[in-house]
Each structure stands twice: as C-alpha cells, then as structure tokens.
Amino acid sequence: GCSSGTASSTESAPTIDPASVEPKGLVGLGPNGEKPALPSDVSLTAEQAAKVRAGNFKVGISMQTMDIDFAKVQTTVLKKTFEENGVQVIGITDAQWKAEKQIGDLENLIQQKPDGILGVPVDDVATAAAFSKVGKSGMKLVMIDQVPKGLKYPTDYQSSVQADGKGNGQVAAEMLASRIPDGGTMGLVNFGNDIFATNERTKGAKEWLAKNRPDIKVKETAFSDPAKAGQVGGDFVTANPDIKGLWVVWDAPALEVISALRGQGANIPVATIDLGQQLTAESAQGADIVGVGAQRLTDQAKAEANAMMLSLIGEKAPSYIAAPALAVTKSNLTDSFKIVFDSPAPADIVNACKNTSGCK
Amino acid sequence: MSGDQPSQAPTPPAPAERLVEVSGLRKTYGTVQALRGVEFELAPGEVHALLGENGAGKSTLIKVLAGVESSDAGTLKIFGEEKSFRSPAESRAAGLAVVYQELSQVPSLTVAANIFLGREPRTAFGAVKQSEIMSRTKAFLAEYGFPLDPRAVVGDLPFAYRQMTEIAKALMSNVRVLVLDEPTSALSEGEEEVLFDAVRKVTARGVGVIYVTHRLGEVFKLSQRVTVFRDGLRVGTYPTSDMDMKSLVSAIIGPRTMAAEVADAVQGHGPKQDHVQRATGSVPALAMSGVGDQRLRGVDLEVQSGEIMGLAGVIGSGRTEILETVFGLRRPRQGQLQIHGQPFKPAGPVDAIRAGVGLVPEDRHGQGLVMDDSIERNIALPRLKPLTRLGFFSRKGAAERSHAAMKELSIKAQNRKTVVGTLSGGNQQKVVFGKWREPRCELLLLDEPTVGVDVGAREEIYGVIRQAAASGTAVLVVSSDLSELLLLCQRITIVRDGRTIRTIHRDEVDSEEALHHLVHTSSPVTPGVPS
Amino acid sequence: MSLTAQSAAKAGGTAPSVKTLKNLVRGDRPYVLYAAFAVLIVAFSFASPVFFSSSNFLNIGRQTALVTIIAVGMTFVIIAGEIDLSVASTLALSGMSAALAIQQSGGNWALGAAAGLATGALVGLVNGLLTTLLAIPSFLVTLGMLGIARGIALMLTGTTPVVVNSLTFWDSFGEGAILGVPAPIVITIVVIALGAYVLHFSTFGRRVFATGGNATAARYSGINTRRTKTLAFVITGALAGLAGLILTARAHAARPDIAAGLELDVIAAVILGGTSLFGGRGAILGTVLGSLMIGVLNNGLTLMGVSSQAQLVVKGAIIIAAVAFSRRK
Amino acid sequence: MSLTAQSAAKAGGTAPSVKTLKNLVRGDRPYVLYAAFAVLIVAFSFASPVFFSSSNFLNIGRQTALVTIIAVGMTFVIIAGEIDLSVASTLALSGMSAALAIQQSGGNWALGAAAGLATGALVGLVNGLLTTLLAIPSFLVTLGMLGIARGIALMLTGTTPVVVNSLTFWDSFGEGAILGVPAPIVITIVVIALGAYVLHFSTFGRRVFATGGNATAARYSGINTRRTKTLAFVITGALAGLAGLILTARAHAARPDIAAGLELDVIAAVILGGTSLFGGRGAILGTVLGSLMIGVLNNGLTLMGVSSQAQLVVKGAIIIAAVAFSRRK
Ligand SMILES: Nc1ncnc2c1ncn2[C@@H]1O[C@H](COP(=O)(O)OP(=O)(O)OP(=O)(O)O)[C@@H](O)[C@H]1O
Ligand SMILES: Nc1ncnc2c1ncn2[C@@H]1O[C@H](COP(=O)(O)OP(=O)(O)OP(=O)(O)O)[C@@H](O)[C@H]1O
Ligand SMILES: [Mg+2]
Ligand SMILES: [Mg+2]
C-alpha cells in the first residue's frame, strides 16, 4: 500500500552536513526583543562559587511535565549542578501539562520558602499571575523556555534561559528541504494549541522556507492531542499524496507519525525538533529521519543553574540566555546524543547505528 | 373472642421420612429478631403451607434454606443430613429450588435464558446449546400449560408473567424440595390453577413443597399441613383438615380482639355498611367514555365519589392500563376522561396528582418505592409540595406524616428511618399505601392493593379504603383476588381484551364462583400454550 | 409495633439536628473515611514541617476550589442517576466567554461574570434537554458536549488566550480576600453551603434523590424526573462556569485549552465522598471531603518532595485503601 | 392476555438463528446506528477522493485497532456492571514490561509477548479482586490503578523509553501482514471473533450478562458473580496488554507515558455501540461498530482537512445525533 510516490530512500538521499545547516548564532530574540547571551556567557568564578556554598541556598523547580526526555535531562543536570555547588533542591513539581495544576504547584513550592524557583511554564498567559507571586514572595526566579506575559526583568524574574526555538524549527526545515524537489510540497504537522515554544518552531520553519525555498509548497495540519498525532499525520499524508516530506513540531508526535507512516507503507522523510532517546533509536535503526533540530539540553540546564546561583548571591544574570540549535543527522547521531544528554549513547543505539549506513 | 386460637393444639406426629428439618433456628438483622428459634419440617410429597403475619419471618426462613442468608443459631437438616449452606449454589446442589417473594430475574434476558440461568447445557467448547434450551423450555411450558413465550425478554413482561417465569424456573430444575414464597401474589384465578396443577404434578413425584401465602383460600385447596409463624416463632403445625378459616386466622393474627371479626370478614360477607352517598344524577368523580389506545379498545365507566368500584379480569385484560390512563401515564388516542364533570387530559402523573388522583401501582419494587430510601422519604414523595415552606422541606411535617401512616397501617418497622428495602414484603406494600393517605385523594386508583399483605393487615387496609370512601373519595380497585373485590366493592366492572364488558352491582353476584364465571364466560381466551 | 414506632418518634423528636447532621455528612460511607482523612493530615504534619500551617491550608483550599465547586454540582447529577463528562470543557468555554465579554465591553467585569455563568448554565441546559428529551445516555451526550464545548472555546479566538484586564474581576474571583480568606475559598464555602442546603433540605433535593433512586417510582409519585435531571445539569453547568470565572481571574486570562481532564478529578471526588455512581445516594459534605482528600494528598506529597511518578502510585494506593477500610464492617 | 403472549410468541417463533444474529449485532440500539454509519461512509466518500479506498480502510483499521481490542474486553466489564478506567495505564505498563523482557533476554520476542500479556492480566486480576472482595466501586479501584500502573511504568526506567530490537516482534504485532492484511488488523479480527463467541455463545458470557443484569438473581441462580466479574477484568487487562504489544511493535519501543486518556475513547466506543453503562445489556459487534464509527470520523474529517478544533465540534455533534436518531421509535 505505498501511496506516495517518493522515490528517494535513505540510501540514495543526499547527505547533509549538519554543521552547514546550523545557524550562525541565534535566530530568535528574547521575549522583550533583547539580544541573547550564550550559555557559555554565564559561569561562576571561584569566589562566587564559594559565596553560593556559604549561602546554604534552597531552590524549587516547577516543571510543565516530567514525562519527556527534556524534563529528565533538565532535572538531572540541574540537580547535579546545584549539588556540586551546595545548593539544595527541595522539590520538583510536575504540572502534567495543566496550567491550573502549575498554579497550585507554585503555591506549594512557595509554601516551602526556598530562596529561588526555576520554572518551565505550561503556558505563557495562564501561569503568569502565579509566577509573578514568586518574586513578590522575595524569591529569585529563573524562567525556562519561555517567559509568561507581563513578567518584567529584573523585578519579576532574574533570567530566562531557552533553547533557540526558532532556530531549531529552521534547522529541521532546512534539512528536510534538501529532500524536497523543486516545486515540491512539504507538510508541517503543528500543535493545535497556542503555546509559545511550539509557535516559535513553526515560525522559524516557515520563515526560512519563505526566504530560502519559496518554490516549496507548504501544507499544514495540526493535532490537539499528541497521542493522536499518528492518526492526524497519517491521514494528512493520505489526503495529500503530493507531500514529499513531513516536518513535525516535536519528537513524541513525530514518533507517532513515523509509526503510522510505516504502517501505511508510506516512505516519507521526517524532520523534527528535540533529540529524544527513542527518536535517536529510531534514527539509528534506519528510519528516514532526515534531521533533527536538537536542543542542547545539558548546556541549557547548566546555564539555568548558573543564572539562578548568580541571582542568589545578588549578581546580575543576563535577561535572556539562549542555547543555539544543534543540527542532527545520522552522521552525527551519537555525538549529538552525548551533547544533549551529557552521557554516551546507550549500547543498543550504538549497535543499531553500526548496522545503518551513514549512521555514526 | 380471642380464646379459641389453636396454638395449644398438639403438633401431629411427623412422617418418618423428612426432606427438611429445621430446629431452633435464629436470625437477627441488626436489632431485628427475624427468627427467634423456629421449628419446621417437610415430608416428601406434601404441600406444607407456611403462614404468618407480615414480618413473621417466613421469607427469612426461606432465605436460610436457600443459602442466601446464614442463620445465627439452630440446625438445618436436609434428608436427615445436617447442612449449612453458604451460597445459593450449595442449596441448589442439595436439591432445593426457590421462588423468591421479590423476584430474582435478569430482566435483560429471555424467559428461556432465565429459566436455565446458571445451569445451561453446553457443548464441549463451552458454547451454550441455545436450541436445546429453547426446545426444552418450550416442551416444559407446554407440558405444564404455562402461557409463556420462551423468547420474550423478561423485563418487557407484565409482572404476572415474570412471576410465572420464576415458577417455571424452579419447577424445571431437578428438585426434591420446592419452596414457593407467595408465588401467586400477582396471579388471578386462572393462572393460579395452572400453578396448582404444576404443584400437584411435582408432589406426585415425591417432591416436598413449602408454600408461603397470604391467600388463605389456597391453603385449603392445596396443602396437607399448615405451619404458622408469629414474631419469629412457630405458633404451631396442624393438619389442614383440622383447620377452618376462622381457626387459621386466629392462629395467624393471635389473640387480638378483632380476630373473630377478621375471620368473619375473610369468609366473605360483603361490604358491611353500604354507605355510598351516591346522590342519583350527581356528577361522577371519574367518567371514562370510549377511551382507547394501542391496548385499550373501548373503556366506559363511571365512579362516584364515595364509591368503591372494582375492575375484574384476567391478566393482560387491560385493567392496569385503565388505571395508568387515568393517572396520566398513557395518552388515550380516542375517547374522553372527566373528573367531576371537567374534561381531564393529564400529561403525566403531575397533572393527575394535582387533580386529586392517587395510584397504588402493582409493582411495588419497580413503581411504588425507592427501595434504598427510608419509609419517611418514600411516604413524603407524592406530597413534596404541601410539605414545603418557603423552599424549605419540612422535615417535621414529613416525620409526622410517616409516623401517622405507620401507626394507622401497622407498618412493622423499627422506625420511620428504616430503609424500605429491609422491610418484609407486606410491610413494603403498606408503605406504598401510606404514600396516598393524606391529604385525602379525590380519586384513588388501587392496582392489586393487598399483594403480599397478611390477613390482619389486609383488613386494616380495607378499613382504610372504606374510610376513604366514606369521606368522599372515589376508589377504583383492580384485584385478581375476586373475594377481595366482593368484600370491598359496591360495583364491579368486568374488563376483557381492553374493553369494559359490563358493570354489575355487588348484589347481583352472590359468590366468588359466580364472579369467576362472569369474568370467564364467553371468554374467547383461555390460558393456552403459545404456538 | 406501636412501641417501636413511638420510640422511633421519640428518638427522632429529641435531637433531629444531630441526626440530620449525621445524614448530611455520611452519605454512603461510614466514618472511617474521616478517620483516614485525619490520619493523612497527622502523617503529613509530621512528614513536612510546613504542612500544618494556616497559609498551607489556604493553599489547599485554593487548589481544590475548582474541583470542589464543580463536584458540588456533579453530586446532584450523579445522585439523579446521570453523569456529566463535559464540565472541564464547559469551564474553558465559560472562561473564554467571560473574558471576551470583559474585553469587548471594555472592562465590564459584572457583564463578564454574567456571561460566564450564563454560558455554563446554557451548556448544562443543552446537556439536560438532550439527555431527558431524547433519552440518550448522559454519558454519550456529555461526551459529545465535551468535544463541542472545547472545540467552540478553541475556535472563538483561533486558540489564542484572552487576557483579562479588570482589577475588580481579578479581586472578586481570584485574589481578593475577606478577613484573610481568599475569594476562591469564600466562593467555595458559599457554594458548599448552598449546595448542601438545596440537596439535603429543599424539596428539589428530595426530587433528586428519588429520581436517582427509582425514576419510575418518582414519576409515579408525581415528580417531573426530566425537569429534575435537567435542573441538575444546569446547576452543574453554572458551577463549571463559576469555576471558569475563578480560574480566569486567578490567571488574569482565559485559555481555551485549560483544565482538560478535570472531569475525572471531579467525578473521583464525588465517588470518593460516598455518592453512588448508580444514583440515589450521596451527600455534599462527602463530596467536599473527597475533593479535600485528593487535594491534601497532592499538596502533602509535593511538600514531602515525593517524585511525581511515585505520587501517582501513592495517591492511587491511598485512595483504594481509604475506601477499602471505610467499606469494612 | 393470551393475545400479547401469542403475538410475542409469533414474533419470536420465526427464526431462532436470525434472532440470535440480530441480538449479536444489536445490543441496545436499533439499526439506525448502522444507517448513520453507512451515511457517514457515503458522505466521506463524496467529500474526500481518497477516503473510499482499500488502503485507507486499512489505515482506519490500524488506527482503531488498539481501541477496538481493549473495547472488546471493556464490553465484558461494562455488561457485568463494572467499569475499568485503568486500561490506558495497563497498556503502557504492559508495553514497558514486554520491551524490558525482550531487552533483558537479548531479543526473546515470545518471552516479551508473554510478559506483556501476563502483566495486563495481572493488573486486571488485581482490579477484579479489589472490586469484588473488598466491595469497592470499580470506578475508584480502577481510578487508583490508573495512577498506580502509570506510576510504575514511569518509574521502571525513570521515564526513559525502552527500545525493542526484534524484527520478529515488530512483524508479529506491528508491521507484518497476512494476505495483505496488516498484523494489528488480523489480531483485532481474531479478538473480535473470540470475544463475540465467548460473550454471546458461551456459558461464561451468560454469566456476564446475568451478573450485570441482576447480580442478586445471578447469585441466587448459583452463579459466582465475583469470579465472573474478576474474569471480565482479567480479560480486559490481558487485552490492554495485547494492545500494548501492538503499540510497542509499531513504535519499535515502549514509552511509559503512551496512550494517556485512551480509556475515554474505549468506553465511548462501547457505549456508542449500545452497551448499557448500567450493565446487563450489550454486544461485541456494537462495540466494534462504535469504535469504527469514531475511527471513521477521525479519519474522514482529517482527510477533509477539517481543523482539529472544528473536528472536536463536528465529532461531538455527530455522536449525539447518531445516538439520538437511533433512539427514536
Ligand atoms: N435485610 C434485612 N435487614 C433488616 N431487617 C430485615 C431484613 N430482611 C428482613 N428483615 C426483617 O426481618 C423480619 C422478618 O422478615 P420476613 O421477610 O422474613 O417476613 P415475612 O414473614 O416474609 O413477611 P411477609 O409476609 O410480609 O413477606 C421483618 O421485621 C423484616 O423487617
Ligand atoms: N407485551 C407487553 N410488553 C410490555 N409491557 C406490557 C405488555 N403487556 C402488558 N404490559 C404492561 O404491563 C403492565 C401490566 O399489564 P397487564 O396486561 O398485566 O395489565 P392488567 O390487565 O391490568 O393485568 P394484571 O393487572 O392482572 O396484571 C402494564 O403496565 C402494561 O402496560
Ligand atoms: Mg416474605
Ligand atoms: Mg395489572
């Protein structure tokens, strides 16, 4: 049942040099239009580190979810970095993607009177009032991934650290575009809800395509429930047989889409954002994942911890720190894994990679 | 007046062989002592009637026999072997089959499926042998003359047919002891005979039958021995031949001043005072003319204020439908209803109740009571509005109301907060009655009003009905118990096939047999086997 | 017989208020659930130094407000023998409609509040009418409505959240306080009191119980069971609307995708509180307890620093255990 | 009297096999639902040129496989008068346990399949025993289990997905095909056939109906209602486990956070198919139809390019309308 006419398979695909795709510097500007700093710009001097240790500080973390690799790497690296510096993490809360739950989580964290809170907001509007309470309670606040609307630097929050969402969206689109023939069609599978981080990625992809590949026709669809992304993506391809490549807004729905396409027998290349463990495995096993715009999770988390510690000892942290996009193809898969996860790729990924041509 | 109760009469020597032997059996529910050490035994081939007032403990004994309830003390021997059933399955395995007072059927399954429930014949692959179930059920129903369709879904059947299904289910199992707890409460004479025949057939095979009933006439028709319970104790066991109606009644209700009176009444002397203030030419409380729908095919009748009118007919003749039409539960397609001369088109019970109509329905479980609620809550239900003050529900008013009803109807319960589901069957029926006690209805519709009610209480209920009539209520009674109609009514309308055939005065019939004849004569339908 | 009846009358006569109170509190479930609740509170007080404090109790109150308020309405619906799966979507739609009304009217907060409540009540009315007039199982009607209301909420602005800029609105439903008690808690208490009054003391409450206990018997007693059920849905819808106002006020904005899945928490609170899913039995205070129990678990486990995965396990186990023990004779 | 009995007898007397077939198909709901389904198919065929094609039908089959398989089990549970909210979590836990077994055993796919099924059955057993032995409402038991199973699934690897590297496993449950029919669809058909046989033709099926129709009557008839209910839960758990295998095989990995919220789709399919939430009535083919109907709606609307927000509205409305019409006399 191969309904799409895509002739290209992994083997015959043109190889992309990931390095050439990575944007020079950062694509997006900060929430208030500020120029971003790089993660490497925030670090502690020995003297500052001593001050931190002497402070016996306590911090809390409010996550939007705990069920994805992003969250796991973030919390692991944050905890490790804080521990090294004698800062105690008193609690990590899981909002389960619910704004109303995060509002309560923040109240609970504030209740425990930490010196600072790091938060990944579920959304940039509904949690704003809750996050603004952190500063009002005299605690330091470092925002991760996005800054809720209306919060002011440096009164309401002391730093914001993000992945370059726009850059990531662009990287994925650019790599996928290499597989789209002149005048061909690219499908974008977006998230149906209004979320800053995912909006940025879509924007980055569309802007790059409009500027660099105006010949490509862009068709879009969206899912509201990530668990149903497979059905949506699969049917999207069925309805639009001209689609030569799918760009999916993050890795979990991309995996659903890949699995649906496989079932349908449709050989369509996919590009996405976020290098999760399972996506890495899929790619290593030979799935046609052209490219991934990966977040440098470890760097980002270290920057978050450093920004928090600087604020805790009264130093000024940059208002906007962005981790540049990391372009991942099969050719730099295991290395990229190490960059993202701060640990070598597990054996089964390495082994699978060995059996897949072009995979390293 | 109360002296001649035969409780001192010696228990006759029991037959040598005993199917069931119960001694010193005790059972308490919370603080209620349902059985306080009863004795009972059953011989092969006999029909042993078990009698007693509502709440005397009859059903409780049966539940212990059936393995539904466990006893607190005492012994139970089946075929001389001491047993203690922990589940209905064990009791069944020991050869007991029970027809419960409160039907225990699966409404969503067919008659045949219910009859074979729990003992379906099956193939080697575990598949139910559908056709075998059907054919065996059919053959059985034909043999015993049960007018039942094996394919009908039980939940769709009228109550009487459901009861019949239950009986068929018990008879069809390979039993040695058959226990029937008020099996005829919803049957009329014709169907009753079908059951009696069936019972005689099985006793001829040596099966022993325990027969619980409040229709004392049946005792004499069917049983060889009688055991009477009162307040959880055995009053005595007597050969039926030694008893007459009067001694039976006084054994049941005990040394009460009214015992003799009740016995007289039960023996059937008609309405004592014919106090119908029927001013000739006055407007009838209820008038129906040419009323018809899918099931009714022409109903004409008039009931005067203060009159008790009866509706007689076989099951399915449409008596219930007539009452339902008046109560707004059915929309007539043609014909007219009038209440006190005013055209009456109730859109539902709300309208009917507003017009002063009350209904005691035939199925107290399904239609009459909220089983999980208390007596008080149930009795308050049709009178919520009058019990409301400024949006506040008057708990005091409801309490008074239920208290008065419990007193007047002698409802045996711990208090008004007792959940009606835990009451004995007869007492539940009294609660349904209590719902319409106050304020007085203009028109009271009674569908089998004394189903499962003991003789004493039945007389109390008759008193209440007569009193209501005396104070001006028009009463329309449906009853399959013809003696009841003869006792209560000034006039009786015969219903057949959805039509009112004729209306007769009480004086025109001098006996139950005469009425029975009237109901059945020229009846084109006799209970037969479905093709 | 008359003896028992009399003693009953006496027993009832002496202290009706105590009895009533017991009934109010108890529902189906004996006191062990209360004991379990108390044990939890004591355990958390030892486990976390910050748990037992008035400010934390206010947190718990605020965090459970939405669920409690809607659960009060859901108690009516479930006792009447139905279910409402659409409450979370109704909440979102009501919040959006309130926020849009405030935005369009240039900050008229009262108009917004009215719009929110009316939207909720309207959704409830549609649920009720479809369920009763077309005789469709309410599970399906409200499942359909779950999608419809959410879809409309999302389409109103093309999924964009609507910011509310009205200090009065924020204060009235979100951040204001009366005698130090935050507005959402004050509103919750009022809803509980009204709900308990209507369910347990009013005539309408009697109708709800009878309708769920045995709809046929209720109809035969002259109760308009359709109207009763419909009203129960309207109450629930309006309360979901009220919850939408609170959430919007607290967040200073309405999001169309908010509160997804909340219906399960709401129904869980009701059932945990002893109301029977099959109708006819239940109590408002039981529901409140159920909601608080879930809230205390969430709060206490978070304060103890239990990981969110372990929280799932512990919460599930405690809910089962609490009910299991309270079911024991 | 005999009139009704006779006419009833006549109606029934014609053809027992036809009746049985009808019963099989019908459940509670008349044929209009089938008509509605047919109308949908015709409408989508006109609306989208690619809808009516065997490859798209295979797509729909694959997309609905998980829901259909679990819904077959759920039909047993709901007919028996209970409910199982934990199926999605059970699916995830079973998938994880299968994947871990394969990983640990160095690629023994049969061991993995056994582990997955056993895990599902075990969760079902626990659900059943807690529900029947402790007499806790299954809503609460399985709500608790929803959290417990998910929590355990997440904690097994600290939320990390487990990659499965077994071509045989991928093929058997995911990508293989028999006569051009993909494995998941083949498995679904087998499950449907077995489910229909057991529910409608076996004695166990009878017991399930009787238990849900009137548990007391069933008990009085010597049926062990506890065992019957427990078995229904075990079946559902095992089928959720089977669904977990399929999902894992298709994704080449097990993710602990997968399939959240699937229970609502499953229950919706069952109820839409005419099974009564109050127990005692229902049919496997109805359930299959319900699941397909939801699947066709999802697929057709997506093919037509309807936005995901509008889909919510349209789907909700069509579900209500279909049931409403089928309920009309
Ligand atoms: N489940 C129960 N809980 C509490 N009390 C009960 C329960 N079942 C029966 N009783 C009480 O036990 C007593 C005996 O009841 P039982 O049903 O045996 O009476 P009965 O002789 O069958 O009466 P009837 O002729 O009205 O059917 C009654 O007072 C009744 O209220
Ligand atoms: N075939 C049927 N299917 C469904 N309901 C029926 C059927 N026949 C009767 N009923 C309903 O069952 C109830 C009793 O009907 P039935 O025909 O027994 O009335 P009846 O003539 O008053 O007989 P009785 O009062 O002696 O039982 C009524 O509510 C009637 O509408
Ligand atoms: Mg009895
Ligand atoms: Mg009748």
Residue of C nearest to A100 (CA): C259
- Mark whether B242 and B296 lie in a shared domain: no
Cα–Cα nearest to A79, from A97, A96, A63: A63
Neighbours of chain B (3+ CB pairs under 8 A): C, D
Residue D17 confidence (pLDDT): 41
Residue of A nearest to D161 (CA): A278
CB contact under 8 A, A239 and D50: yes
User: Ligand 1: distance of its center to the CA of B229 in Å?
Assistant: 12
CB contact under 8 A, D319 and C140: yes
Confidence of residue D115 (pLDDT cuts 50, 70, 90): very high
CA distance D134 to chain B (A): 18
- Mark whether B122 and B248 lie in a shared domain: no
Of how many residues is chain C composed?
A: 329
Which residues of C fall within a CB distance of 8 Å from B402?
A: none
> Mutate which of C308, C311, C314 to disrupt the A interface (most A C-beta within 10 Å)?
C308
Query: Which atom of ligand 1 lies nearest, measured to the CA of B229?
Result: 21
pLDDT reading at A190 higher than 80:
yes
Residue D327 confidence (pLDDT): 60
Asked whether residue B14 is domain-assigned, the answer is: no
- Mark whether B277 and B348 lie in a shared domain: yes
The overall average pLDDT reported for chain B is 84
Residue B263 confidence (pLDDT): 56
- Mark whether B27 and B161 lie in a shared domain: no
Neighbours of B204 (CB within 10 A): 9
Residue A246 confidence (pLDDT): 97
Residue among B424, B430, B433, B451 to mutate when testing ligand 1 (max atoms within 8 A of CB) = B424
Residue C16 confidence (pLDDT): 38
CATH of the domain at B234: 3.40.50.300
Confidence of residue B126 (pLDDT cuts 50, 70, 90): confident
Lowest-pLDDT range of A24-38, A161-175, B49-63, B164-178: A24-38
CA distance B422 to chain C (A): 15
Residue of A nearest to C253 (CA): A126
Confidence of residue B410 (pLDDT cuts 50, 70, 90): confident
Q: Which residues surround ligand 4, an ion (CB under 5 A)?
A: B 320, 362
- Mark whether B268 and B352 lie in a shared domain: yes
Residue A197 confidence (pLDDT): 84
Ligand sitting nearest the alpha carbon of B330? 2
Contact A317, A274 (CB under 8 A): no
Residue A16 confidence (pLDDT): 74
Residue A10 confidence (pLDDT): 42
Asked whether residue B195 is domain-assigned, the answer is: no
Q: pLDDT of D177-215, one tens digit each?
A: 898 899 999 999 999 999 999 999 999 999 999 999 999
**At which residue do the structure tokens 């969430």 appear?**
C298
Among the partner-chain residues C7, C216, C218, the one whose CB lies closest to the CB of B381 is C218
Contact D71, D275 (CB under 8 A): no
Restricting to C residues 115-144, those with a Cβ less than 8 Å away from any Cβ of D are: 130, 134-137, 139-141, 143-144
Among the partner-chain residues D56, D259, D308, the one whose CB lies closest to the CB of A227 is D259
Residue of D nearest to C152 (CA): D313
The more confident residue out of B215 and B438 is: B215
CA distance B208 to chain C (A): 35
Q: Distance between CA B93 and CA B460 in Å, rounded?
A: 42
- Mark whether B150 and B121 lie in a shared domain: yes
CA distance D23 to chain B (A): 11
Contact D136, D130 (CB under 8 A): yes
Lowest-pLDDT range of A137-141, C174-178, C187-191, D285-289: C174-178
Residues of A contacting chain D (CB within 8 angstroms): 1, 3, 66-69, 71-72, 192, 221-225, 227-228, 230-232, 234-236, 238-239, 241, 252, 255-256, 259-260, 262-264, 276-278, 281-282, 285, 348-349, 352
CA distance A354 to chain C (A): 34
Distances from the Cα of D58 to the Cα of B64, D172, D177, D185, D285, angstroms: 58, 17, 11, 8, 19
Q: pLDDT of B179-234, one tens digit each?
A: 999 887 777 777 788 888 888 888 988 899 999 998 888 899 999 999 999 989 99
Confidence of residue B257 (pLDDT cuts 50, 70, 90): low
The more confident residue out of C327 and B423 is: B423
Neighbours of A130 (CB within 10 A): 24
| Dihedral sign for Cα atoms in the order D105, D110, D113, D117 | negative
- Mark whether B262 and B351 lie in a shared domain: yes
The mean pLDDT of D55-77, rounded to a whole number, is: 96
Restricting to C residues 87-106, those with a Cβ less than 8 Å away from any Cβ of A are: none
CA distance C221 to chain B (A): 5
Asked whether residue B68 is domain-assigned, the answer is: yes
Residue of D nearest to C310 (CA): D151
Q: pLDDT of C209-246, one tens digit each?
A: 999 999 999 999 999 999 999 999 999 999 999 999 99
User: Ligand 4: distance of its center to the CA of D5 in Å?
Assistant: 15
Residue B198 confidence (pLDDT): 84
Asked whether residue B270 is domain-assigned, the answer is: yes
Chains A and D form CB pairs within 8 A to the count of 111
The protein residue with its alpha carbon nearest to ligand 1, atom 17, reads B424
Residue among B159, B321, B325, B497 to mutate when testing ligand 2 (max atoms within 8 A of CB) = B321
Q: What is the dihedral of CA D98, D102, D103, D104, to 10 degrees?
A: 100
Lowest-pLDDT range of A178-182, B406-410, C96-100, C208-212: B406-410
Q: Distance between CA B470 and CA B468 in Å, rounded?
A: 5
The structural domains of chain C, ordered by start, are 2-328 (1.10.3470)
What share of chain D in percent tops pLDDT 70? 89
User: Ligand 2: distance of its center to the CA of D64 in Å?
Assistant: 44
Asked whether residue B352 is domain-assigned, the answer is: yes
Task: Decide which of B252, B267, B284 is a domain's last residue.
Answer: B252
Asked whether residue B502 is domain-assigned, the answer is: yes
Confidence of residue D26 (pLDDT cuts 50, 70, 90): very low
User: Ligand 4: distance of its center to the CA of B97 in Å?
Assistant: 27
Which residues of B fall within a CB distance of 8 Å from C20?
A: 395
Distance of CA C98 to the CA centre of its chain: 20
pLDDT tens digits in sequence order for chain C, 329 residues long: 333 333 333 333 333 344 444 444 444 445 667 788 888 999 999 998 889 999 899 999 999 999 999 999 999 999 999 999 999 999 999 999 999 999 999 999 999 999 999 999 999 999 999 999 988 889 889 999 999 999 999 999 988 999 998 989 999 998 888 988 999 999 999 999 999 999 999 999 999 999 999 999 999 999 999 999 999 999 999 999 999 999 999 989 999 989 988 998 999 999 888 888 888 989 999 999 999 999 999 999 988 888 888 999 998 998 888 888 766 43
Residue among B362, B477, B496, B501 to mutate when testing ligand 2 (max atoms within 8 A of CB) = B362
Query: Which atom of ligand 1 lies nearest, measured to the CA of B52?
Result: 21
Task: Decide which of B152, B174, B196 is a domain's last residue.
Answer: B174
Contact B518, B509 (CB under 8 A): yes
The segment with the largest mean pLDDT, out of A62-76, B127-141, D98-112, is D98-112
By CB neighbour count within 10 A (0-12 exposed, 13-18 middle, 19+ buried), where does C157 fall? middle
The mean pLDDT of A166-193, rounded to a whole number, is: 94
Confidence of residue B459 (pLDDT cuts 50, 70, 90): confident
Confidence of residue B264 (pLDDT cuts 50, 70, 90): low
Asked whether residue B458 is domain-assigned, the answer is: yes
- Mark whether B40 and B112 lie in a shared domain: no
Q: Distance between CA A69 and CA D229 in Å, rounded?
A: 39
- Mark whether B277 and B309 lie in a shared domain: yes
The mean pLDDT of B329-354, rounded to a whole number, is: 92
Residue D3 confidence (pLDDT): 32
Neighbours of B391 (CB within 10 A): 11
- Mark whether B270 and B343 lie in a shared domain: yes
The protein residue with its alpha carbon nearest to ligand 2, atom 17, reads B316
Among the partner-chain residues A94, A129, A150, the one whose CB lies closest to the CB of C250 is A129
Q: pLDDT of A305-345, one tens digit each?
A: 999 999 999 999 999 999 899 999 999 999 999 999 989 99
Among the partner-chain residues D151, D307, D313, the one whose CB lies closest to the CB of C152 is D313
Residue B4 confidence (pLDDT): 43
Residue C31 confidence (pLDDT): 65
Report residue C18 as tokens: 């105590």
- Mark whether B332 and B289 lie in a shared domain: yes
pLDDT reading at A6 higher than 80:
no
Q: Distance between CA C58 and CA A111 in Å, rounded?
A: 10
Do at least 3 CB pairs under 8 Å connect B with A?
no
Distance of CA C261 to the CA centre of its chain: 14
The protein residue with its alpha carbon nearest to ligand 1, atom 6, reads B422
Confidence of residue B303 (pLDDT cuts 50, 70, 90): very high
pLDDT reading at D10 higher than 70:
no
Confidence of residue B329 (pLDDT cuts 50, 70, 90): very high
What range defines the domain where residue B134 resides?
105-174
Residue among B294, B314, B315, B481 to mutate when testing ligand 2 (max atoms within 8 A of CB) = B315
Residue A5 confidence (pLDDT): 37
Number of domains in chain B: 3
Q: pLDDT of A12-55, one tens digit each?
A: 455 677 777 777 667 667 767 778 899 988 999 999 999 999 99
Residue B526 confidence (pLDDT): 38
Asked whether residue B299 is domain-assigned, the answer is: yes
- Mark whether B165 and B180 lie in a shared domain: no
Residue of A nearest to D304 (CA): A239
Among the partner-chain residues C140, C159, C277, the one whose CB lies closest to the CB of D137 is C277
pLDDT reading at B11 higher than 70:
no
CB contact under 8 A, C134 and D327: yes
Ligand sitting nearest the alpha carbon of C220? 2
The mean pLDDT of B413-426, rounded to a whole number, is: 88
Residue A87 confidence (pLDDT): 96
Confidence of residue A149 (pLDDT cuts 50, 70, 90): confident
pLDDT reading at B531 higher than 50:
no
Residue B288 confidence (pLDDT): 94
Task: Name, in order, each residue with C-beta under 8 angstroms of A94's C-beta and a sequence gap of 6 or more.
Answer: A63, A65, A66, A67, A71, A105, C308, C311
- Residues touching ligand 1 (Cβ under 6 Å) are B 29-30, 32, 34, 52, 54-60, 101, 412, 422-427, 452, 454
Which residues of A fall within a CB distance of 8 Å from C303?
A: 91, 108, 111-112
Task: Name, in order, each residue with C-beta under 8 angstroms of D28's C-beta and a sequence gap of 6 or more.
Answer: D274, D275, D276, D281, D282, D286
Which run of H or of E encompasses B263?
A: helix B259-268
Cα–Cα nearest to C251, from C46, C41, C98, C149: C98
Q: Distance between CA B39 and CA B178 in Å, rounded?
A: 18
Q: pLDDT of B81-114, one tens digit each?
A: 898 898 888 998 899 999 887 768 888 889 999 9
